[in-house]
Structure 1
Amino acid sequence: MAQTACHNNPRRQFMPHGEFMFDTSIPDTSAALSLPPLPTGPVASESTSKPASPKTKRRKKPRCASGLGSVYFRESDNRWCATWKTSGTDGKAKTRVVYGATQREAIEKREAARKEAETVAENATKETVGDFLRRWLDIVKTKLQPTTVAAYSEQIRLYMAPEKDVGMGLGIGQIPLSKLSPFDIETWLASLEKRGVSAARRRGLCVQLKSALGRAVAWRQLKENPMAGVEYPTVKREQMKVWDSDEVAAFLLACDGERLEALFVLAIETGMRQGELLGLQWDDVELKEDTDPTTGAPRYSGQIHVRHNLQEVNGNHQPLSGPKTQAGNRIVTLFPETVHALIQHKERMRKEGKGAHPYVFPSTTGRPVFKRALRDAFNRIIKTAGLKQIRFHDMRHTNATMMISDGVDVKTVSSRLGHSTTSITLDIYTKFMRKADERAAGVMASIMAKKKILAAGSGMGDRSGASVPN
């Protein structure tokens, strides 16, 4: 034990007779092994500066596996952001981001978005654009007007996805739906322009394609609509052709005695659409005839409930439908002359044996009048009257411009025409609104002139110093 203790302590050495002594040749290190005195000032490990505010501490960005994006806290709005990479329709990588109040919420939203993208990818088959467009039209046609369905079908067959080149190329029908890009669409539109397709037609194709591809996104067959990156063709509005009051009077005079005279009078007075006129039934018409108690002359009044629209597709009449818009379902008050014309027309139909016919304007065979027959009669009357050629629909524009020229307010004009908003009326007839504004300014100028005349007569004179008109 003594040897072990001495061996462990180099300062102890054995002496004869079992005694031991300290080796003074080895320096004493006991002082170095003792604990240092407690500090009296600030602790050395603590900073004397003000501790940092918790608001300035930045949260660490959790790192995710490669390709999975990142999750981080955004201090500007105290939200968690989760990002990931996807490939757009143009083939370029895009960063997507979702937000959450907590880190878990942001991650869950990201995973849900990824899962939805995977569903879209699974639904994206090798179906071509042409096959999809035909399938789309077959699904949505019950919600569209027959004429719209016919127009859409024709545009698919001739321009978008023809089965063979019909002079307009092969369109975009052979491209897989999942691969369709804005570049493909604009290349196709440029080829149509080179082949002489009008800007109005190309713009109509864009409207239809955007609607169809929008449903593909809703059906999770596309992640996004390729039309979002396409620039639409610019359509220059053609100058509107209308008749003035003298030309209208000449046309109505040439209609005198015509079998469909009342139809043309009604078109000029009410501005009704062609389909609304051809679909008009006697149940929609209220006519009243009485006698003026003072003069004994006949008086006429009445109105029309515009409820129906008769459409024709490929030479075949379609079942009656409602007006073009919800606002098209309207009541239009008639002028006395128009009421008189309708009363005479009803008597004519009675003599023809069609007094019980539901349509106001049946053909000689008892069927509704066809558009081609109406157009031929209209053009023949124009030629007889020696008037400039306009379309039948331009009588609707003529009606609107005449009302505006007579100072009828825009709201009333819009209501009688059946426009869904007054902005449509303003957009179409802005040119004629300016003329009405100039007339309004002229009215105010005449009022101011009268004021000066009255002032001069009262001896007050013209305070502005301007000369008083004679």
Structure 2
Amino acid sequence: MAAIEKRGNNSYRLTVSCGYDKQGKKIVKRKTIDLSYIKPNKQQEEVNKQWILFKDEVEKGIFMDAGKITFEEFIRKWLKDYAEPELAPKTLHRYKELLNTRIIPAIGHIKLNKLQPTHLVEFYNNLRENGIRNDAKPGGLSERTILHHHRLISSILTCAVQWQFILNNPASRVKAPKVERKEARHFDIEQTEYILSLLENEPIKYKTAIYMAIYGGMRLGELSGLEWSDINLDTGILKIHQSLQHIPGQGTFTKSPKNQTSNRPISLPKTVINLLREYKIWQNGEKSILENLWNDRCNNIFTTKTGDPIYPGTISNWFRKFIKRHNDKVINNDTISKDDKKKYLLNEINFHGLRHTSATILINQGLNVTTVSKPLGHARTSTTTDIYSHSLQKADIEAANKLESLFSKENTKNKKQG
């Protein structure tokens, strides 16, 4: 029995003998690999290396037979060998939720090498059915959520191909759920000015946080993770280099930002710097009141009442309640007419919408994509373009109208002179 057999143009079957069973039957482990990515004159050298590695896996008892393992078994291996060492904690937590709540229960039992595109299509259609939602709301999952499932499955199966458990990825032959691109939810300039005016009567800690989110365009985790040493109150330069996150069961912790470009400086205007100075004075007052009860080891800008790092959701939850509290007050105010109430009501947009607000306003003021993407910390300008395509389109139309107006005036002027 040959240890290495060529099965096709670029396909090879590896065979390793590993003793005999109780009935005296020879135990054989086999594995088929695809070397189409290797030049023909280098394939024999590569297949010999792969056979040695395969033999070592079999002898150590760590070989998983691709013909016998289920999709769930491979997922567990993927989590242990790749996801847990490589992925950010929050990303890993979100992936495990998708895997454990729906993917594994639905298709985890299928043999890895038997998983077909039709299985995935049926699974996605099931996610669209009424009653599938955990929140008990009518209807199925959104196409965006289904797309998240598809991308995760495809990523895992791509890994299975790379690790040579399967020859191709069945998810690549499934049409990805189509998601309609929507404009990122944000406040317009008028509502933003209105919000800033309303904050004058709010606690200084939250007032400062909202100002920084609007003027700095930072993520919630980045804002929550800021320390006083990260900002120079003389120059107005703020350095983003970490993010505060909370994961159920793991608690609150600090991590490096989303990507390398997320490590970035942000210039804050004098309005925000002056507010930060005022807030620091207030915080020092809180320290002096609590004395030994204050956590002196924490240097965070935003803290709990005892000086510990703030739970990230505290700021976003406060902002949500702030919007609701204001809107309820307007709705219940009988001195304001029904028509006028619409002018005072704020759109119910979450905290992340402040980041979109910051970027959208900058774009509408004529700043180019490259300039806007830097303070946002996007790894690629294409990310900024994708998220704010609607705003960029509006800015382009406005620019075209300005040009038309300019040249129309010039033509009128020339006619008069002629």
TM bucket (normalised to shorter chain) is 0.7 to 0.9
CA contact (8 A) 2:300 2:309 kept: yes
Q: Within the alignment, does 1:382 sit opposite 2:323 as a pair?
A: yes
Larger radius of gyration: 1
Could you say which structure has the greater relative contact order, defined with CA pairs below 8 angstroms and 6 or more residues apart?
Answer: 2
Contact kept in structure 2, 1:98 and 1:106, CA below 8 Å: no
Describe the shift of the 1:69–1:355 C-alpha distance in structure 2 as closer, same or farther (beyond 3 A).
closer
- Tell me the amino acid that sits aligned with residue 260 of structure 2: Q
Check whether the contact 1:266–1:338 (CA below 8 A) recurs between aligned residues.
yes
Cα offset, 1:114, TM superposition: 11
Q: Find the counterpart in structure 2 of residue 134 from structure 1.
A: 76
Matches of 2:37 and 2:323, distance apart in 1: 65
Q: Which residue of 1 aligns with 2:142?
A: 198
Whether 1:246 and 2:190 are equivalent positions in the alignment is yes
Residue 263 of structure 2 aligns with which residue? Answer: 329
Partner in structure 1 of residue 207 of structure 2: 261
Q: Deviations over 1:351-380 (max 9, x none)?
A: 110695411101213222224422331023
Contact 1:123 1:220 in 2 (8 A): no
Moved more, 263-272 or 352-361: 352-361
Cα contact 1:129–1:173 (8 A) shared by 2: yes
Deviates more, 1:253-262 or 1:363-372: 363-372
Name the aligned partner's letter for residue 126 of structure 2.
Answer: S
Determine which of 214, 237, 242 is the counterpart of 1:303. 237
1:153, distance to aligned residue in structure 2 (A)? 1.0
- Indicate the SS of the match to 1:223: coil
SS of match in other structure, 2:274: helix
Give deviations 1:56-111, integer Å, cap 9, x for gaps.
Answer: xxxxxxxxxxx9789xxxxxxxxxxx57799xxxxxxxx9989988xxx5995898
Aligned-residue offset at 1:214: 2.3
Show CA shifts across 1:123-155 (max 9, x none): 425322112212321222121111111111111
2:175 to 207, 217, 231: 231
One of 368, 375, 379 as aligned partner of 1:409: 368
Deviation at 1:310, TM superposition (A): 0.9
Distance, in Å, in 2 between the alignment partners of 1:279 and 1:97 is 47
Give the distance between the partners of 2:273 and 2:38, measured in 1 at CA. 66
Identical columns (%): 29
Q: Distance in 2 between matches of 1:98 and 1:346?
A: 59
Q: Quote how far apart the aligned CAs of 1:420 are.
A: 0.9
- Name the counterpart of 1:347: 281
Amino acid at match of 2:255: S
> Does 2:220 match 1:277?
no
Match in the other structure for 2:165: 221
Q: Kindly provide the amino acid, as one letter, of the partner of residue 420 in structure 1.
A: A
**1:397 corresponds to:** 356
User: Larger helix proportion, structure 1 or 2?
Assistant: 2
- Secondary structure of the corresponding residue to residue 171 of structure 1: helix
2:100 is aligned to: 157
- 2:359 partner amino acid: A
**SS of match in other structure, 1:174:** coil
Which position in structure 2 is the counterpart of 1:17?
none
The letter for the 2-side match of 1:418 is G
Q: Which moved more, 1:240-249 or 1:187-196?
A: 187-196
Deviations 1:298-334 (A, max 9, x none): xxx5011010111111175443111112111111111
Aligned to 1:143: 86
Q: Which amino acid aligns with 2:246?
A: E
Give the letter for the 2:362 counterpart. M
Is the CA contact (8 Å cut-off) linking 2:211 and 2:272 kept in structure 1?
A: yes
CA contact (8 A) 2:242 2:257 kept: yes
1:359 alignment counterpart = 300
Instruction: Quote the Cα distance in structure 2 between the aligned partners of 1:330 and 1:155.
Output: 32
**1:209-262 Cα deviation digits (max 9, x unpaired):** 222222222333222222222221111234432211111111112222423211
Asked if structure 1 preserves the Cα contact closer than 8 Å seen for 2:35 and 2:43, the reply is: no
Question: Where does structure 2 lack aligned partners over 5 or more consecutive residues?
Answer: 14-33, 58-62, 133-139, 288-293, 328-344
Instruction: Determine the structure 2 residue equivalent to 1:419.
Output: 378
Tell me how far apart the structure 1 counterparts of residues 79 and 37 of structure 2 sit (CA, whole Å).
34
User: What is the DSSP-based 3-state SS (H/G/I as helix, E as strand, rest coil) of the residue aligned with 1:352?
Assistant: helix
Q: State the superposition RMSD in angstroms.
A: 3.3
TM-score computed with the length of structure 1 as normaliser: 0.67
CA contact (8 A) 2:184 2:388 kept: no
**Is contact 1:98-1:110 (8 Å) kept?**
no
TM-score (norm 2): 0.74
**Counterpart residue type for residue 120 of structure 2:** I
What secondary structure does 2:255 align onto? Answer: coil
Q: Which moved more, 1:226-235 or 1:446-455?
A: 446-455
Would the aligned equivalents of 1:129 and 1:176 in 2 still touch at CA under 8 Å?
A: yes
C-alpha distance in 2, partners of 1:99/1:286? 54
SS in 1 for 2:176: coil
Structure 1 residues 113 and 192 mapped into 2: Cα distance closer, same or farther (>3 Å)? farther
SS state of the match for residue 239, structure 2? Answer: strand
Worse-matched range after superposition: 359-368 or 175-184: 175-184
CA distance in 2, matches of 1:351, 1:251: 27
Number of residue pairs matched by the alignment: 351
Q: Distance in 2 between matches of 1:381 and 1:187?
A: 43
The worse-fitting range, judged by mean Cα deviation, of 107-116 and 180-189 is 107-116
1:440 to 392, 399, 417: 399
TM-aligned CA distance change 1:330 to 1:197, over 3 Å: same
- For 2:192 and 2:380, how far apart are their aligned partners in 1? 27
Q: In structure 2, how many angstroms separate the alpha carbons of the residues matched to 1:84 and 1:277?
A: 52
